[in-house]
Amino acid sequence: MNTAKVRVLLIALLDMALDIVVPIVVYLVLQPLGVPAVLSLAAGGILIAGKAAFGKLTDTGDRDTALLLTCTVVSLAAMFGLYAAGVPAPIALVCGVVLQAVGTAVSIIRRRKLDGFALLVLIELALGIALSFVSSGDPRFLVARPAFYTFVAAAYVFVTVFRGKAFMFVVSRPMAVAGDPRRDVAYDRAWANSAEFRRLERIGTAAFGLILLAESVLRVVLAFQFGADEVVASSLVSQLPVIGLFVLFILGFKVILVPRLTKLVEAEMPAEKAA
pLDDT in tens, 49-107: 777 666 544 444 455 677 778 888 899 999 999 999 999 887 888 888 888 878 777 77
What mean pLDDT comes out for the span 185-197? 92
d(CA 5, CA 140): 38
H or E element in which residue 38 lies: helix 37-54
Query: Half-sphere exposure (CA, 13 Å, Cβ side) for 217?
Result: 7
How deeply is 192 buried, as exposed, middle or buried, from its count of CB atoms within 10 A (0-12, 13-18, 19+)? exposed
User: Can you state the angle between helices 195-223 and 231-238, rounded to 10 degrees?
Assistant: 160
- Decide if pLDDT at 210 tops 90: yes
**pLDDT grade for 130, boundaries at 50, 70 and 90:** low
d(CA 172, CA 161): 15
Least confident of 31-45, 128-142, 224-238, 253-267: 128-142
Helix, coil or strand: residue 209:
helix
Measured between alpha carbons, how far is residue 49 from residues 119, 178, 188, 248 in Å? 13, 27, 30, 25
Helix, coil or strand: residue 200:
helix
Angle at 213 between CA 211 and CA 218, to 5 degrees: 90
> Would you state the pLDDT for residue 274?
41
Share of the chain above pLDDT 70, in %: 73
The rounded mean pLDDT for the chain is 77
d(CA 79, CA 38): 11
> Would you state the pLDDT for residue 193?
92
**pLDDT grade for 115, boundaries at 50, 70 and 90:** low
Nearest to 258 by CA among 39, 67, 3, 9: 9
142, 41 Cβ separation under 8 angstroms: yes
